[in-house]
């Protein structure tokens, strides 16, 4: 009898421990599942943020490229106009110098002919 009571107590304790460990295993599985779901949600949020930022940066980059191309075209036009202006200034100066030389020649010739008279 004594042996039976000890044996039955041990079986009860064993059953209690098995139940306790099973509860621990179940709680561990539940927490692991919650953790995995939380991580998956966080990864999803971060992925959405990344895609949003990537799309924003792509739009900004496209605007930058369009602006850069527009500026390149305007700079080319401006450089062409500046070159034409410089060429026109040079030509005008040469024409003024030639006209001045002609005027001086004409004055010298007139002065020479006035001296002879």
Give the per-residue pLDDT at 53: 96
Distance, C-alpha 69 to centroid of its chain: 16
Split at pLDDT 50, 70, 90, the class of 3 is low
Task: Answer whether 0.85 is exceeded by the pTM.
Answer: no
Distance, C-alpha 58 to centroid of its chain: 7
Q: pLDDT tens digits, residue range 88-107?
A: 999 999 999 999 999 998 88
Give the per-residue pLDDT at 1: 54
Share of the chain above pLDDT 70, in %: 95
Mean of pLDDT over the chain:
91
Check whether 27 has a pLDDT greater than 80. Answer: yes
Arithmetic mean of pLDDT, 70-84: 96
Distance, C-alpha 101 to centroid of its chain: 61
Q: Whole-angstrom Cα distance, residue 64 to residue 112?
A: 70
């Amino acid at each position: 009898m004594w042996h039976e009571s000890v044996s039955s107590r041990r079986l009860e304790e064993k059953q209690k421990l098995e139940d306790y460990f099973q509860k621990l295993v179940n709680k561990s599985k539940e927490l692991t599942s919650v953790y995995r779901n939380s991580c998956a949600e966080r990864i999803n949020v971060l992925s959405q943020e990344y895609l949003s930022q990537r799309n924003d940066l792509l739009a900004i980059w496209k605007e930058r490229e369009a602006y850069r191309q527009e500026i390149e075209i305007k700079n080319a036009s401006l450089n062409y106009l500046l070159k034409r202006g410089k060429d026109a200034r040079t030509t005008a100066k040469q024409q003024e110098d030639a006209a001045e030389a002609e005027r001086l020649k004409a004055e010298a010739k007139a002065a020479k002919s006035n001296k002879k008279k």
